Amino acid sequence: GIQVEQSPPDLILQEGANSTLRCNFSDSVNNLQWFHQNPWGQLINLFYIPSGTKQNGRLSATTVATERYSLLYISSSQTTDSGVYFCADFTQGGSEKLVFGKGTKLTVNP
Partner 1 sequence: NAGVMQNPRHLVRRRGQEARLRCSPMKGHSHVYWYRQLPEEGLKFMVYLQKENIIDESGMPKERFSAEFPKEGPSILRIQQVVRGDSAAYFCASSPRSGIDTEAFFGQGTRLTVV
Site for partner 1, rule CB under 8 A: 30-31, 33, 35, 41-43, 45, 48, 50, 86, 88, 90, 92, 94-103
Q: Which is nearer to partner 1, 31 or 75 (CB)?
A: 31
CA angle (83, 105, 59) in 5-degree steps: 65
Q: Which is nearer to partner 1, 21 or 101 (CB)?
A: 101
CB of 80 to partner 1, least distance (A): 18
- What is the rounded distance in angstroms from the CA atom of residue 56 to the CA atom of residue 27? 27
Which residues have a Cβ under 8 Å from the Cβ of 83 and sit 6 or more positions away?
A: 36, 37, 38, 39, 105, 106
CB of 74 to partner 1, least distance (A): 20
Q: What is the CA radius of gyration of the chain?
A: 13
Q: How long a stretch of residues is the chain?
A: 110
CB of 50 to partner 1, least distance (A): 8
Q: Which amino acid is at 21?
A: L
CB of 72 to partner 1, least distance (A): 16
Q: Which is nearer to partner 1, 15 or 96 (CB)?
A: 96
